[in-house]
Structure 1
Amino acid sequence: MKFLKIITLLIISANTVIIPFSAHSQNDSQATFFTGKPPVFVGVKTPNSTVNLPDAHYYFTFTLPSNSIEAIAQITIQQQESPEMIALNIDNTSAFIGDQNNQGQTLTIQPSELSEGTGVNILFNPPVPPGTTFTVRLEAVRNPSQDTTYMYDVTVFPAGNNPTAFPLGVGRLSFYELF
């Protein structure tokens, strides 16, 4: 199957410096993209970063600006390869409007463990609308035993048919031994 690439170019100066502005294939008409202001990954926090702490909570906070067009239907949070993979208690995953310090209305979710067992895929029903700051709370079986920084890739998907993944970056959690 051939795809026709259409590239919009922006000329910066008379020196013909050209930067690709956007690229779309003819098949993109079947996909749903984030348009308008994109979602923002605010960050991740844990109230206790002590190694080996059981039932630890990790709070991933997001903002979907009010001038976004699409709602968020799904989020994937995947641990990067680390010295130790942190097991999650998927059944205790939750989401709510607000952040760790200001918890509001509960959001209805359906979490599922990723195939590698090192992350979670969260479906929102209904999708999270524009103009919302919200948090996903993950529960680890326990904090890792090694004191180092662990990183998570964070990706969101818009509501709609054939959603296109939108990577938001990396969340970092650091754990420490008590002396």
Structure 2
Amino acid sequence: MTTTLRPVRDEDHDALFAWQCDPAGIRMAAFTREDPSDRAAFDAHQHRVRTDPAIRHRAVERDGVLVGTVAAFTMEGDREVTYWVDPAHWGEGIATDALRLLVAEEPERPLFGRTAVHNTGSRRVLEKCGFVVVGEDSGWAHGVGAQTAELVLRLDA
């Protein structure tokens, strides 16, 4: 099976929105939009992400089928990565493959990844791609409805 990255297209939005409304995905991601079911907010966010040249936002395909997204963006001066995979494809190595591909095309270092402490799968993805834990943070997580601890991971090379 081959994982590839391509630019996100308008026709991807319905699938991306559906995945980001999945209750299990919301709980795992934890740090989501206040109302993940707000399609107007989702569309506004997608427009902002797709038109900002500083954001590297890619659709993830497995054998030509859309299965997720991966992105690099700058927040508070740090270059960060994020990814989201269709819950129907969790556990297939897609997030790891996609992040490796993104890291290869993203020249800026260091890169940071954040994951809710309870999201051990996401931590494994980051660590398989060379990220190491450098600290902890916490914040209000809409996905779990409470203050939630998160790990901060860093990739230097």
TM-score (norm 1): 0.28
**More relative contact order, 1 or 2 (CA 8 Å, 6+ apart):** 1
Quick check: which one's helix share is greater?
A: 2
Higher strand share: 1
Give the number of the structure whose alpha-carbon radius of gyration is greater. Answer: 1
